[in-house]
Amino acid sequence: MCGIVGYIGKNVESVVIDKLKKLEYRGYDSAGIAVNSPTGFAVFKAKGEIKNLEKIVKKTDTASVGIGHTRWATHGKPDEINAHPHVSADNRWTLVHNGIIENYSEIKEKLVGQGMTFYSQTDSETVVKLLQYYDKGDRFDTISKTISALKGSFALAILRAEDNKIYFAKNKSPLYIAIKDGEALLASDVICFKGFAEEYYVIEDGEYGSVDGNALIVKNEFGLVGKAPVELDYDFGDVENVYDHYMIKEIYDTKNALLNNYEYYSNGNYKKLADLDVSCFDKVVFVGCGTAFNACLVGAKFFKEKFDVDCFTEVASEFRYSRPKLNERSLVILVSQSGETADTLAAHELAKLNKAVTVAVVNVEYSTLAKAADVCLPIKAGVEIAVASTKAYSCQVLTLYMAASILEASSRREKPNFDQVKAFLDGLSFGDTELFKRVSETIRYQQKIFMIGRGADYCTANEASLKIKETCYLNSDTYFAGELKHGFLALIDEMTYVVVFATEKEVLAKTISNAEEAYSRGARLIVFTCFDDIDKSFENKCEFIIKVRDIGSGLQAIENIIPWQLIAYYTSVSKGINPDKPRNLAKSVTVE
């Protein structure tokens, strides 16, 4: 979950820091850089965000190569000692690492037995100590022996004193390299190459090598590997931000993002998907984590409505331990904004191992998941930087809606008709900001907020609850409205807010009577509805009623979530929280 970068060229410190800022979404609890200097490595580390590092780095004209790291702590608390880069005791090697070394305790024990001293609590320090341990002069031999001893995931950027090169190695963590006129850039996300190069190289699992300003050498266990560059043709969209935070920018980006999605699929970019015949499958399984899982909940509803097939949803971190029965008649749909979430990738690996057909619903089109799945459905949300997913969630839901429509139409040998989607998007607005701010003023210090709903409203409630947990640090739980009296009514008192999503016509009366049950035990009600004919006496019991449009299709889920994303944003800001970087979290969870 860390970001790593390496650079060869001029103004090394500035370039490394600039690129680290682009990777800060991968972790922001500490950061560090190392550059070469006439007297060995110059290393700077700081706790917290990269701006803290920037303040202490001494820029030189002499450095020609450097590496940098932005950390999300796994082993050892976030402080300067545990921050990367780590340096070997002989000062000949230094490195930054993204991933987890699973056998680090064993390695550490062995090296301590050989007289080595460890300073940090990190797993990564064992790697730099191994480099020193195996170093007999040949760099590649040293690196090859080191990575052979490692179990787990790693993308490593390594410097060796006296060498004007960056060494690297990769296993199960992304790593990319670009070279341009005497300069080279290595990074854990190609977003760093924007404005630097038009093409780049993808490093694959098991590969290691070196790069200088002119040449890339890549090896694996069989010898030298030839690499062809890949064109950097991704539309990173508008990543500049004129708003106070990325979260609010990205909520407001939603409409354009959804329109991009609509245009992409309306233009017929679904050939591979349309070749699938749902009737050939015994089951469809939707897998994701966090917000992506909530999109899966909605997606499964779309498929259940349209097809006579069993649909299941599974949280990716549980999937491979739940003994899923998969075979070539299983369709596994994996949803992930980043396409790099470790649990989702592991779920995909298991699905392929069992010969299931896989569909990836991803935002990052160059991601591992996008490349590995049989069919890739881009959600076209544009770069999402805030940790809290907003526009990506709406685009995930729309993509799943599009996918179900495409598959249904192709089963009838027809072209899908997206007119309803277009009409929905044309009328999409961002609602009453003043009302949302008033709601946020009311809930910002509450400690018991329950979200209830039935059917698809339950899925929205789940996502709404996740949003205020992560951006507002509020204690919030979701329940099926019908489950109230099976236990959680006992928690309701005058200090409880119950947010009711009531946009499912079929079960409206039942949802409202559940809300009444909570109200009569003292709960304070915030109600989302799309219906005008709600009983007046019930309306009078609600502290807030938020009216959304009645969409009359599964797209209601998108209509409903946007107001709550705005409420979460205003609540977060009013509590003095940075909604883009909530404590303890990172955008892309690349470790299990």
2: annotated active-site residue = yes
Pairwise CA distance, residues 588 & 339, whole Å:
9
User: Which residue in the shown chain puts its C-beta closest to ligand M6R?
Assistant: 290
Which residue, chain included where needed, has tokens 């290393």? 43
Active-site residue identified among 2, 192, 376, 459: 2
Residue from 301, 332, 310 nearest 401 by CA: 301
> Is there a contact between 525 and 516 (Cβ–Cβ < 8 Å)?
no
Q: Which CB, 135 or 189, lies closer to ligand M6R? A: 189
Q: Which CB, 6 or 174, lies closer to ligand M6R? A: 174
Smallest gap from Cβ 291 to ligand M6R, in A, equals 3
Smallest gap from Cβ 256 to ligand M6R, in A, equals 20
Q: Which CB, 143 or 295, lies closer to ligand M6R? A: 295
> Is there a contact between 361 and 377 (Cβ–Cβ < 8 Å)?
yes
Chain contacts with ligand M6R (rule: CB under 6 A)? 289-292, 336-338, 341, 344, 387-389, 466, 470, 588-589
Pairwise CA distance, residues 478 & 471, whole Å:
16
Smallest gap from Cβ 192 to ligand M6R, in A, equals 18
> Is there a contact between 165 and 211 (Cβ–Cβ < 8 Å)?
yes
Rounded CA Rg of the chain:
25
Q: Which CB, 311 or 381, lies closer to ligand M6R? A: 381
Smallest gap from Cβ 588 to ligand M6R, in A, equals 5
Q: Judging by DSSP bridges, how do beta strands 166-171 and 208-211 pair with one another?
A: antiparallel
Q: Judging by DSSP bridges, how do beta strands 30-37 and 40-47 pair with one another?
A: antiparallel
Smallest gap from Cβ 369 to ligand M6R, in A, equals 8
Smallest gap from Cβ 372 to ligand M6R, in A, equals 14
Strand arrangement, sheet containing 375-378: 310-315, 283-288, 330-336, 357-362, 375-378
What are the CA-CA distances from residue 319 to residues 233, 310, 329, 413, 484 (Å)?
34, 17, 18, 34, 28
Write the DSSP string, 487-525: TGGGG--TT-EEEEEE--GGGHHHHHHHHHHHHTTT-EE
Q: Give the three-state DSSP class for 168.
A: strand
Q: Which CB, 344 or 440, lies closer to ligand M6R? A: 344
* Cis upstream peptide for 324 (omega within 30°): no
Sort 308 into a burial class: Cβ within 10 Å, 0-12 / 13-18 / 19+: exposed
271: annotated active-site residue = no
Q: Which CB, 121 or 584, lies closer to ligand M6R? A: 584
Pairwise CA distance, residues 199 & 62, whole Å:
28
Q: Which CB, 185 or 335, lies closer to ligand M6R? A: 335
Write the DSSP string, 324-390: ----TTEEEEEEESSS--HHHHHHHHHHHHTT-EEEEEES-TTSHHHHHSSEEEE-------SSS-S
Smallest gap from Cβ 227 to ligand M6R, in A, equals 27
Q: Which CB, 159 or 369, lies closer to ligand M6R? A: 369
Smallest gap from Cβ 48 to ligand M6R, in A, equals 20
Smallest gap from Cβ 26 to ligand M6R, in A, equals 11
Pairwise CA distance, residues 435 & 133, whole Å:
63
Strand arrangement, sheet containing 449-453: 476-480, 449-453, 497-502, 524-529, 542-547
The count of residues in the chain is: 592
By annotation, the residues acting in catalysis are 2, 587
